[in-house]
C-alpha cells in the first residue's frame, strides 16, 4: 500500500512536471572538473555530480561524458519536460553567442558552440555565460550580495575571474566579454602570464598559481632565511601549503600573502573607482587563507582609493559553499 502511494505520488509529480516545468540544471565547466546539478526554483540543489573536463579530448567526447551522467538525473525528475532550461558557466563563455571563445585555460581551441551542442543533445534550451559571471549571479540570488544592486565578485582560484553587477544586472558589455579583471595589468612589465603571454596581470599574482610562484620567488631571493616552506618539494608548494606554513608563523609564508594582498587590494581600488560598488565579494581557493589575505588586501584597497570612495566598500568573503555556488550561479542564468 505504501509502495503504491509512493508510485502514485511520483506519477502525479511527473504529470504535473510535464505541463509545468519547475527545475533547472546548473553546469559549471571549470578547467579541471565540470560540476552539474538539478536545482529547484528556491535554489535547492536536489541532485549533483561531476565529471573531469578533459578538454584535451574533442568537445564531442565531453558532451557524451556529460550525457552519460546527467541524462539519468534528468530522467529521474520526469524527463526534459520537467526542466525550464540549462544554465552553464564556462571560461570565456559568451552569453550573446552561446560559444566558448578562445579560452586560455581550456585545450579546445578557437570557438566552441557548446550551448548549441548541449541543447541538441538534451533537448533542453541551454544558456551560457562566463563562469565568473555565473558566480556573481549566484552571490546576488543566494549569497553575500543578496539584495545588492552594485557589487563585484572576484574568484581567486587557479585563475582570477570576475563578475560585475551594476544596477542589478551582470555587465556583459558590447560583445559579452566584459569583466575579465584577472587580465587587467597591475604591474607594468611585471610577471609573465604563461598562457596569454601578457606581463603583470592580476591573475599572474592573485591566483593560486600566482601565490605558488611568489612563494618560489621569495624562497629563491632569500636563500638564507629559514622557512617551513623549504620542507616541501617544489611540486608540493601550493597556496594551501603556504597557508599551512603561515598559520604556523612562518615569515616568508606570511609575506607571500602580504605581497599578494597588496597587489590585489590595489587592483580592487581601481575596480571600485570604475563602478563604485557597494561590496566586493571574494571567492575561491585563496580565500581559505582568511585574514592572511584579507587584511593586506583591505589595507591596500583603502590606501589606493580616491577620497570619495574611502571606507565605503564592504570587502567580504563569499558565504556560499564553493561547489554549490558554481551550480547555483549557472542555474540562476535560467531563473
> Which residues of the shown chain bind a second copy in the complex (CB under 8 A)?
92, 101-102, 104, 149-150, 164, 166-167, 169, 171-181, 183-188, 196, 198, 266, 269-271, 273-278, 304, 306-309, 312
Whole-number minimum distance, CB 255 to a second copy, in Å?
Answer: 17
d(CA 335, CA 331) in angstroms, rounded, equals 7
Q: Which cell numbers in the block locate residue 84?
A: 525550464
Closest approach, Cβ 251 to a second copy, in A, equals 23
Measured from the CB of residue 178, what is the shortest distance to a second copy in angstroms?
4
From the list 219, 188, 202, the residue with the least C-alpha distance to 286 is 202
Shortest distance in whole angstroms from residue 186 CB to a second copy: 8
Please identify, using beta-carbon distances, which residue of 197 and 223 lies nearer to a second copy: 197
The nearest distance, CB 201 to a second copy, in angstroms, is: 8
Instruction: Report the distance separating Cα 333 and Cα 138, nearest Å.
Output: 9
Q: Which is nearer to a second copy, 152 or 252 (CB)?
A: 152
Nearer to a second copy, 138 or 265 (CB): 265
Between 143 and 176, name the residue whose CB sits nearer to a second copy: 176
Identity of the residue, 177 or 232, whose beta carbon is nearer to a second copy in the bound complex: 177
CB of 173 to a second copy, least distance (A): 3
Give dist(CA 202, CA 199) in Å, integer: 9
Phi-psi region of 284 (alpha: psi -120 to 50; beta: other; left: phi over 0): left
Place of cell 543566494: 142
Q: How many CA atoms within 13 Å lie on the side-chain side of 27?
A: 28
**What does the alpha-carbon distance between residue 117 and residue 61 come to, in Å, rounded to a whole number?**
12
| Smaller CB separation from a second copy, 71 or 184 | 184
Question: Shortest approach of a second copy to residue 175 CB, angstroms?
Answer: 6
The whole-angstrom separation of Cα 263 and Cα 85 is 40
Helix/strand/coil for 320 = coil
Please report the DSSP string for 69-102 in residue order: HHHHHHHHTTSGGGEEEEEEEETTB-TTT--EES
| Number of other residues whose CB lies within 10 A of the CB of residue 91 | 22
Q: How far is the CB of 296 from a second copy (least distance, A)?
A: 14
**Residue nearer to a second copy on the CB measure, 33 or 270:** 270
CA 20 from centroid of its chain's CA atoms: 31
Burial class (CB in 10 A: 0-12, 13-18, 19+), 21: middle
Q: Which is nearer to a second copy, 139 or 250 (CB)?
A: 139
Amino acid at each position: 500500500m505504501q509502495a503504491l502511494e509512493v508510485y502514485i505520488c511520483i506519477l502525479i509529480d511527473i504529470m504535473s512536471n510535464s505541463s509545468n516545468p519547475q527545475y533547472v540544471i546548473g553546469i559549471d565547466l571549470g578547467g579541471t572538473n565540470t560540476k552539474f546539478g538539478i536545482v529547484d526554483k528556491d535554489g535547492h540543489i536536489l541532485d549533483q555530480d561531476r565529471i573531469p573536463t578533459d578538454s584535451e579530448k574533442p568537445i564531442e567526447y565531453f558532451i557524451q561524458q556529460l550525457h552519460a551522467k546527467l541524462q539519468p538525473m534528468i530522467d529521474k525528475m520526469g524527463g526534459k519536460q520537467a526542466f525550464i532550461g540549462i544554465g552553464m558557466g564556462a571560461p570565456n563563455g559568451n552569453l550573446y553567442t552561446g560559444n566558448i571563445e578562445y579560452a586560455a585555460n581550456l585545450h579546445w581551441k578557437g570557438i566552441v558552440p557548446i550551448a548549441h551542442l548541449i541543447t541538441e543533445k538534451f533537448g533542453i534550451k541551454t544558456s551560457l555565460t562566463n563562469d565568473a559571471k555565473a558566480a556573481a549571479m549566484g552571490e546576488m540570488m543566494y549569497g553575500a550580495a543578496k539584495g545588492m544592486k552594485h557589487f563585484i565578485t572576484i574568484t581567486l582560484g587557479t585563475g582570477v575571474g570576475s563578475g560585475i553587477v551594476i544596477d542589478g544586472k551582470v555587465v556583459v558589455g558590447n560583445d559579452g566579454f566584459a569583466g575579465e579583471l584577472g587580465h587587467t595589468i597591475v604591474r607594468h612589465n611585471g610577471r609573465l602570464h604563461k598562457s596569454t603571454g601578457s606581463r603583470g596581470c592580476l591573475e599572474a599574482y592573485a591566483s593560486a598559481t600566482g601565490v605558488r610562484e611568489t612563494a618560489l620567488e621569495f624562497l629563491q631571493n632569500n636563500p638564507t632565511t629559514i622557512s617551513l616552506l623549504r620542507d616541501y618539494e617544489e611540486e608540493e608548494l601550493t597556496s594551501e601549503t603556504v597557508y599551512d606554513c603561515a598559520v604556523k608563523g612562518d615569515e616568508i609564508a606570511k609575506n607571500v600573502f602580504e605581497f599578494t594582498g597588496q597587489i590585489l587590494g590595489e587592483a580592487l581600488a581601481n575596480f571600485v573607482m570604475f563602478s563604485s560598488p557597494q561590496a566586493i565579494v571574494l571567492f575561491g581557493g585563496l580565500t581559505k587563507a582568511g585574514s592572511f589575505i584579507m587584511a593586506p588586501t583591505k589595507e591596500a584597497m583603502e590606501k589606493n582609493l580616491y577620497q570619495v570612495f574611502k571606507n565605503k566598500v564592504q570587502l567580504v568573503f563569499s558565504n556560499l559553499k564553493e561547489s554549490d555556488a558554481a551550480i547555483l550561479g549557472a542555474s540562476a542564468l535560467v531563473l
